[in-house]
Amino acid sequence: MPGEFDLIARYFTRHAARDDVALGVGDDAALLRPPPGQVLAATVDTLIAGVHFPEQTDPADIGHKALAVNLSDLAAMGAEPAWVMLALSLPRVDDSWLHAFAEGFHALAARHRVALVGGDTTRGPLSITVQALGWVPEGQALRRDGARPGDGLYVTGTLGDAGLGLAVLQGRAEVPPQYREALCARLNRPEPRVEAGLALRGVASAAIDISDGLAADLGHLLVASGVGGRVALDRLPRGDAVRAADAHGRLALTAGDDYELVFALPAGQERALAALADRLPPLSCIGRVEAEPGLRLVDADDNPVAFSHQGYDHFREF
Amino acid sequence: MPGEFDLIARYFTRHAARDDVALGVGDDAALLRPPPGQVLAATVDTLIAGVHFPEQTDPADIGHKALAVNLSDLAAMGAEPAWVMLALSLPRVDDSWLHAFAEGFHALAARHRVALVGGDTTRGPLSITVQALGWVPEGQALRRDGARPGDGLYVTGTLGDAGLGLAVLQGRAEVPPQYREALCARLNRPEPRVEAGLALRGVASAAIDISDGLAADLGHLLVASGVGGRVALDRLPRGDAVRAADAHGRLALTAGDDYELVFALPAGQERALAALADRLPPLSCIGRVEAEPGLRLVDADDNPVAFSHQGYDHFREF
């Protein structure tokens, strides 16, 4: 384990371990006791300074977001998060930065009862890789490939807030001052939809989280399921600020970093979904799954709307 | 999952999945079926260009080593490797680089029957984080904290080769030409001692892999166990090239990147160890565990040898 330097132990072990952690930070590997009869869900995501966040972002926000994007992936599988590992590359040891980063990380971890069980710190350009492990009962995971023609398409919460927040921060957009803080919070402190993912087990036929924009991520779900879809632009859920800035819904369709869930609901499951209302954020039915491949956008009168877009891709400039 | 861009799917999914992989690369998370009655061992390690390897290192070597250092951590726990995830940050998409990197990675993975089950690729400075998962029966893990006074101290293989290889590559040392290739292979293609780790379950009382140098890593083991140790410099196992370059054993004591195992053996277990000879690399008894904290070095006549050294620490220059 090159270069550990005890930073992980110093900054990241303050919380009591879960009783399924046999051995946490400090050995060559963590030792974990999986619950019987469940399937392990494992995901990894990296955030890099200058690519995923501006270099000067509040380190507490970076700590929050590095964990949030991984918990969001588990949420999209319907998995219950349990354990995470942190690989942190830092240009230098900066105590106040590390303290704030750890605060942001741990506050979110504590809310989801997630234990940090290991990690690695190295000298290098600022970069954070988190690997998250969780559990889902056999056969109940929300995969991408289960959507079928006739299923309804739903999203949680509102879309476009994080994208508008980024545009505001970068000086590309202006919003009334009362919206500014909330939009930036959507960008910097996304709330992974863990509870929603758990509630949708056995109800949704497929799900994915929206990190690269609805069109891109829903596109992944439709392709994985071998189907297509129709989405009504006017049904995309938008907050007041996004609605004012984006009358046509393009921001809600393409902006990334919202970390809401989009899922497919088989016909006949509407009542089951309604019964979950108290465990779910506001939901919007935005369209339906169709047999013909591709994503079709329509207006309020079901007329086609042309669009071209590839979502956010970190390699697109090459 | 920001920026995945299908690179993981394109380059890293060629090998057939293990039958305990319910869902591999391509969804929000992998779904894995742990064997019943075992404990999950989880570790993560990062390699960064310019810190852990020169920027121009053969990408096949980088792919090998990024996996090897993680399998070495599992080996040091006595865990059987099963699944790995790869977070790869790249300045640009370079097909020939990715192809070679994937070759190096997969060749080692295939030899240990390890499945790549997920990953994330992002644009950024060249950096590789691998997270490895494996299994060990409850109560049989080789932890760092089990060494007791009177235990013998052993190392696998030879020490100092990788460090001498690095010195040769950097022009800080010269060796007869017939040694050059083997030394560089020790540096660039370390062989994780997976079989040795498995064989030492129930035999060794504590173990750690040697990534930062024997003195540093054995020091971690002794501290974790609340004990000290005595090591005879002349017993440190050295190949011919290292012996010629390093008459006093200092390189074997302090050089990193060898990825051998150092372990403690309770008195009375020598016969059990001897019975494992066909499953183990050459072993050397280098000293013994003592109650008094600290690491004491002695010469062939058991006289103290002074040394000062902190091992390799990626933050030491700050």
Say yes or no to pLDDT of A231 above 50.
yes
**Nearest residue of chain A to residue B24 (CA atoms):** A42
The percentage of residues in chain A with a pLDDT greater than 90, rounded to a whole number, is 77
CB atoms within 10 A of CB B317: 7
Q: Which residue has the tokens 């006289």?
A: B303
The percentage of residues in chain A with a pLDDT greater than 70, rounded to a whole number, is 93
Q: A54-103 pLDDT, tens per residue?
A: 888 999 999 999 999 999 999 999 999 999 999 999 998 889 999 999 99
- For residue B173, give every residue at least 6 positions away whose Cβ sits within 8 Å of its Cβ, in sequence order, or none: B164, B167, B245
Where are the CATH 3.90.650.10 domain residues in chain B?
151-298
In chain B, which stretches have pLDDT less than 70? 1-6, 14-17, 308-318
Binding-site residue set of B? 28, 43, 45, 52, 73, 119-120, 144, 209, 211-212, 257, 312
Mutation choice for A interface testing from B8, B27, B98, B193 by most A CBs within 10 A: B27
What's the pTM value of the predicted model, to 2 decimals? 0.92
Q: Which residue has the tokens 């726990």?
A: B77
- Mean of the per-residue pLDDT values of chain B: 91
3-state secondary structure of B25: coil
**Mean pLDDT throughout A20-43?**
92
Instruction: Tell me which of 3.40.50.150, 3.40.50.970, 3.30.1330.10, 2.60.120.10 is the CATH number of domain A4-137.
Output: 3.30.1330.10
A130 and chain B: CB distance < 8 Å anywhere? no
Find the CB nearest A143 among B23, B52, B145: B23
Retrieve residue A235's tokens.
């049904």
CA distances from B19 to A53, A66, B43, B242 (A): 38, 31, 22, 44
pLDDT band at A4 (very low <50, low <70, confident <90, very high): very low
B2 and chain A: CB distance < 8 Å anywhere? yes
Q: In chain A, positions 37-66, which contact chain B (CB-CB < 8 Å)?
A: 39-48, 50-52
A5 and chain B: CB distance < 8 Å anywhere? yes
Beta strands in chain B (DSSP E): 21-23, 30-32, 38-48, 80-90, 115-123, 127-137, 152-156, 206-209, 228-232, 261-265, 283-290, 294-298
* Helices marked H in B232-302: 240-245, 250-254, 270-275
Cβ contact, residue pair A256, B2, below 8 Å: yes
ipTM of the complex: 0.90
Say yes or no to pLDDT of A290 above 50.
yes
Chain B residues with beta carbon closer than 8 angstroms to that of A224: 26-27
For residues A301 and A285, give the distance between their C-alpha atoms in angstroms, rounded to a whole number: 16
Residue B248: per-residue pLDDT = 81
Cβ contact, residue pair B5, A33, below 8 Å: no
Cβ contacts below 8 Å, chain A against chain B, sum to 255
For residues A251 and A266, give the distance between their C-alpha atoms in angstroms, rounded to a whole number: 27
* Helices marked H in A85-204: 95-111, 161-169, 177-188, 194-200
Domain over B151-298 is classified CATH 3.90.650.10? yes
Chain A residues with beta carbon closer than 8 angstroms to that of B145: 27
Residue B307: per-residue pLDDT = 75
Cβ contact, residue pair A85, B123, below 8 Å: no
Q: B195-246 pLDDT, tens per residue?
A: 999 999 999 999 999 999 999 999 999 999 999 999 999 999 999 999 999 8
Residue B311: per-residue pLDDT = 52
Distance of residue B205 Cα from the nearest chain A Cα, in angstroms: 14
Distance of residue A73 Cα from the nearest chain B Cα, in angstroms: 5
B5 and chain A: CB distance < 8 Å anywhere? yes
Where are the CATH 3.30.1330.10 domain residues in chain A?
4-137
Helix (H) or strand (E) holding A289: strand A283-290
Cβ contact, residue pair B129, A46, below 8 Å: yes
Q: A251-281 pLDDT, tens per residue?
A: 999 999 999 999 999 999 999 999 999 989 9
Cβ contact, residue pair B211, A1, below 8 Å: yes
CB atoms within 10 A of CB B111: 12
**Nearest residue of chain B to residue A92 (CA atoms):** B318
Cβ contact, residue pair A52, B93, below 8 Å: no
